[in-house]
Amino acid sequence: METEIKGDKMNAGRIYELKVLRKTDLGYMLGSEEDDVLLHFKESDKEYKTGDIAKVFIYYDKKGRPCATCNTPFVTVDNPGFVNVVEIISNLGVFVNNNTGKDLLISKDNLPYDKKIWPVVDDKLLVELKVKSDTILAKPLNRYEIDDLKSEAKYELGSYVEAYIYRIGDAGINMVTMDMVNVFVHKSMYRDNYRIGQMAVVKIIHEASSGYNGSLIEQKEKVIDSDKEILLRYLDANGGKMKLDAKSSSEEIEGKLHLSRKAFKRALGGLYKDRIVDFKDGYTIKIK
């Protein structure tokens, strides 16, 4: 994070090095007599004396008053960054933690219209700060803004990386890694439902001019194994027996196992071939 030179007029959303003017009952007054700000004791990293220099971030408290914190923010006006979601209020938007005394709002106007793909608590978003009168808001970066931040980080084809979803469009999913590298996943390369802010492990399959293309589909063997595991857990939890077989409907299968009929039949066939299950009167029975 860049630090502004002491003596400049203070603006919210930035980091400054400020002189301690005096100690008060609530904390320390910093800056100059013409432009001062309170560093509350609970936001201070140590005890200060008059004349000391404190490195602080300026933000607005819940009453819209400028205040300072010694905590290093994740994002400043000059430096976008990743923040964690801490609260969702459907008629307002989501709140994110910037490591200060007040969480930041991301307005619903800057989130998808479909609330089913909104982030949930602990998801991570790449944002910038916007200062409006007596408040600081967070705004998710779009793909062009993220592209401007891209780093020189390189990934090997076939490798797996953690990335965060920031856009879900008609063509597919846009993701960004902590290294500020774009990864695009075409709609043909994933089968699950995803949401903004969700972390997913993506396989790098192609290098493109704006980043990489990736896949969120596991290798077929891994998919079959994970689906088999779902069936076996269900059988174990129900006395080794379930009222599902290859003739069951999609609705019955999805209702009990949250699997597609195709995935269910493929996994069931594998278990039968391995002589782990058998069928009787519409039931699947675990035999070993």
Domains and CATH numbers, the chain: 15-69 (2.40.50.140), 81-140 (2.40.50.140), 145-215 (2.40.50.140), 220-286 (1.10.10.10)
Residue 202 tokens read as: 């993506």
- The reported pLDDT for the residue numbered 222 is 57
- The reported pLDDT for the residue numbered 273 is 84
Contact 14, 76 (CB under 8 A): yes
Contact 186, 171 (CB under 8 A): yes
- The reported pLDDT for the residue numbered 1 is 45
Q: Distance between alpha carbon 274 and the CA centroid of its chain, in Å?
A: 40
Residues of the chain with pLDDT under 70: 1-9, 218-224, 288
- The reported pLDDT for the residue numbered 80 is 96
- The reported pLDDT for the residue numbered 2 is 46
* H or E segment to which residue 223 belongs: helix 220-237
- The reported pLDDT for the residue numbered 83 is 97
- The reported pLDDT for the residue numbered 152 is 85
- The reported pLDDT for the residue numbered 221 is 52
User: What radius of gyration do the chain's Cα atoms show?
Assistant: 26
- The reported pLDDT for the residue numbered 223 is 58
Residue 192 tokens read as: 């699950």
- The reported pLDDT for the residue numbered 6 is 45
Q: pTM here? A: 0.71
- The reported pLDDT for the residue numbered 113 is 93
Amino acid present at 174: N
| Gap between the Cα atoms of 101 and 71, Å rounded | 9
In the block, tokens 């695009």 appear at 184
DSSP secondary structure string for all residues of 10-73: P-TTSEEEEEEEEE-SSEEEEE-SSSEEEEEGGG-SS---TT-EEEEEEEE-TTS-EEEESSPP
- Read off the DSSP letter of residue 218: P
| Gap between the Cα atoms of 104 and 99, Å rounded | 10
Residue 194 tokens read as: 């995803």
| Gap between the Cα atoms of 40 and 26, Å rounded | 6
